[in-house]
Structure 1
Amino acid sequence: MDRKEAQTLTGKQVMVDEQQDGIYYGELLEVVTEPRKPWRGIVKINGIDSLPKQHYTSEQFKIRKPLYDNGQVIEVIGSKISKSECADVHYNESLRQAIQKEINEATNEQSDLVIEILTAYLNTLSSETTHSFNGTSANVVQSYQFLLQELEQPSFDALEKSMTTYGVCHENIWQCHNSLEKQMQNGNRDDFRGVNFLMYKSESTVLVVQHHYERTAKHGAQEIRFDRFEMTTDTGVRSIMSYTNEFTKDR
């Protein structure tokens, strides 16, 4: 890839081939060009295609872990960079897939030792809850999406508008304690009350939201819905926003 083609990929997904040290996904942030010198790329790592080359012996095996961490910004020579067809990559998930690929390719000679150690590494990753601005854990995302789906459109729109004023978006969700989901999963009930706790984290702001809710079935398809969002930033700015539907009284 020449520097002219590389410049068209600025802001897009690319691959970085470190050969024996693994192959990685990342966003090409900048193309650095100097006269009479090979071009270089500034890349923000966000995924893994292949682990570093693993070295085996008959009696010992030590995992060579990825060269780069999630979100790490690196500068590499242009010859290592190529266009990627994968637009949506999540670091932890891609790491798990790379480890599983290594397990599947283990040869018969050292398969027992290699598989045992790699599987332990894989299980360790699966039990961790690792967060980043672009790689929130799957459990948090799933719980958060459930919560959003339980909001009526006016309540959802009001929440989203308030988030925007604080400089955060849905992709910035960091933690989600969804007590409503837990209540709904614990059996048939007509009344749900409690508080959900949300934390959003952007590069400039941390926003904590207490979502007080009530869901009470009346008759027919009618349901009382009440939502109150109490928002506080890490700089002490606060606001409160409430929503009630047409069947709710005395709010």
Structure 2
Amino acid sequence: MTVRIAIIGGTGVYDPNILTDITEEKVDTPFGLVKVKVGGYQGKRVAFMARHGEDHSVPPHLINYRANVYGLHMLGVKNIFATAAVGSLNSDMKPKNFVFVDQFLDFTKSRPQTFLEEGVIHLDMTDPYCPRLRRVLQEAAQKHGLPYHKTGTYVCTEGPRFETPAEIRMFSQLGGDLVGMTSVPEVVLAREAEICYATIAMVTNFAAGISPDRLSHQEVVDIMDENVHNLRKLVMEAIAALDEDADCPCHRHPQDPSAVK
């Protein structure tokens, strides 16, 4: 059975056992080898990928984003739900809230952002996060009474350090709502590969200078652990409701539909 749906699990989301009949697939991509768990859920085949590795050993600036997304593309995936732990710059977006982000600001510095090694394609990113998948997530959150925000701007930083209070003030002035370290280039590569992509951002803390406390990775993990059951309900409801074969503008390059094979 074709795999049309993938979950990319971020910090605190390492467990593929929400699926049944799990097998491990090794996919040899032009950008490196990736491992993906594939299982079933309500008659659908779903791929699960741990973004940071199963033991959370890969920091955000060293993730092989190209191999990860290309590997899912080679499996036939057309819909990605990506989870992300984020800090909040917006007082309305509180810890344990979900945000279905619709825009990003890119402050990464050293990450390859395209599969293309030659030629030029100017990729349209008017709607970087798939509106169709975001609607599915909103309906899933409503069904389960989960606190959510239907839009938000994700500021992606290079990491692995946390941001300074001065940087957070700048990001806020630029219109950022959330800060994290992984959405870019993942969302860009998904669009280049003609895959619908949505980020399920879960607020774990307020950002530096807003939070009254010093930031720590353990704080992020602790909040994720407390809320992972709600995240699991949200993801599985969205997968159950998703029309995995629906046509979407995300599946077509406006300039060159055959750019990524």
- TM-score higher than 0.5: no
Q: How high is the TM-score relative to the length of structure 1? A: 0.22
Larger Rg: 1
Q: Which is strand-richer, 1 or 2? A: 1
Tell me: higher relative CO, structure 1 or 2? Use CA pairs within 8 A at least 6 residues apart: 2
